[in-house]
Amino acid sequence: MSYYDYRMGQRIELERYPFYALIQAAMRQADTPNLQMLKESWPEVWEELETRYNAPQGLLPYESLPEEEP
C-alpha cells in the first residue's frame, strides 16, 4: 500500500459507505488474483453482484426502483 492509498482510504472512510458496497466496488476494480481472493472471502457478495450485474437496472425480480436513488 502506498501513502496515496492510505490517504484515499481515509477519505473513503469519511463518506461512511456501507461495508458491502465497498466490497462490491473492490470486486469491480480487482485484478484477477485479488478478485479470486475477494470471491473466496465473500462468495455471497460475489453471487449477488453477478446476479444484479446481469439484471435489468440491477433489480432482482421481486424489487422495484426506490423513490430516491442513493
Would you say residue 60 lies in a domain?
no
Q: Radius of gyration (Cα) for the chain, nearest Å?
A: 14
Q: Are 51 and 43 in contact (CB under 8 A)?
A: no
Would you say residue 32 lies in a domain?
yes
> 59-70 pLDDT, tens per residue?
999 998 888 766
Which grid cell sits at 16? 461512511
Give residue 14's pLDDT. 96
> 13-55 pLDDT, tens per residue?
999 999 999 999 999 999 999 999 999 999 999 999 999 999 9
Range of the domain at 42: 18-53
Query: What ranges in the chain are assigned the alpha helix state H?
Result: 3-14, 19-29, 32-41, 43-53
Give residue 7's pLDDT. 97
Give residue 66's pLDDT. 83
Rounded to whole angstroms, how far apart are CA atoms 25 and 63? 21
Would you say residue 2 lies in a domain?
no
Rounded to whole angstroms, how far apart are CA atoms 40 and 64? 30
Give residue 68's pLDDT. 72
The number of distinct structural domains making up the chain is 1
